[in-house]
Amino acid sequence: MRRMPAALVLAALGAAAGDFPRSLEAGPGRAPAIDGRLAPGEWDGATRFEGPTGWISQFTPVRDPKDLSFTGWVKHDGTRLYFAFRVTDDVLYGLDTPRWLPPNNAKAHELTREGWPWFGDEIELLVHSGARWKGGEGAAGDGSSWQMVCNLTKSRLGGVGRGGLLEGEPRSSEAAWNTYRKWIESGAMEAAARPLEGGHGYVVEWAVSFDPCLEIEPGRHYSPALGDRAFGLNIAVGDLDEPEKGRGNFGNFHHEEWWAGEKNVRTQLRYFGTLWIRTKPSAH
């Protein structure tokens, strides 16, 4: 597996899709099985990245890698973009703990727009097409920009108790909610989350179809025929433990680590980093 440094000078790569000086490259490779298992050789050739060192803490900073640490991989097969994460986590919410609720939302586990898809141990992907932003806006909730959630213990397809994809933000938009739900139910976006055997962590594998999820202009989606392309990217890893560990944080979250951005503005498009989809394998 080739490995990228934590941060790159984007000027050396060309145009960037976000202001934050961090970049990943997704080169071509074999499609993995989206089953929450990292099979031998399945992610060979993918770009590898690690955290949370150098990531941005929205809540309590991580001080012990046994508490929270992770390795990720990214690649594509010409029609879908793939991510995988192997997360070390000493306490798995809803498995090692009761499924407690936050004081500010008794409906957090409802699979409705009133629920909180990110309440639990979770990964979030945020992508935009690379078009310039107007100001402090977040994801539109369509193929041009989106924010989706993979939760370890609840999902749209499996319900509460089974991990997988959930509709993300903006939850205030019914149109975004409907788009996200359609992507999940149609398989346009697919993810699997599975606890590690023996506990103390989990695996997420995630697939994103270029069409309809990477819309570079209205009605036109990315394909390798268009050459290398820069997209805005952010990634979040959320860690919910016992409520007392997150005392003083929103929703009693313990950790929420972000690949790019700044505290409190990390979901704004301008604070994303850059994902390059490359049409040829890296020479490294």
Average pLDDT, integer, range 38-66:
97
Confidence bin at 13 (pLDDT 50/70/90): very low
Q: What is the pLDDT of residue 99?
A: 97
Confidence bin at 15 (pLDDT 50/70/90): low
Q: How many CA atoms lie within 13 A of 152 on its CB side?
A: 30
pLDDT in tens, 138-157: 999 999 999 999 999 999 99
User: β-strands 273-277, 23-26: how paired?
Assistant: parallel
Confidence bin at 133 (pLDDT 50/70/90): confident
Q: What is the pLDDT of residue 31?
A: 97
Q: What is the pTM of this model?
A: 0.93
Is the model's pLDDT at 17 over the cut of 80?
yes
What does the domain layout of the chain look like in residue ranges? 10-277
Q: What is the pLDDT of residue 131?
A: 77
Confidence bin at 281 (pLDDT 50/70/90): confident
pLDDT in tens, 87-127: 999 999 999 999 999 999 999 999 999 999 999 999 999 99
CA dist., res. 184 & res. 165, Å (int)? 7
Is the model's pLDDT at 12 over the cut of 50?
no
Which CATH fold would you assign to the domain 10-277?
Immunoglobulin-like (2.60.40)
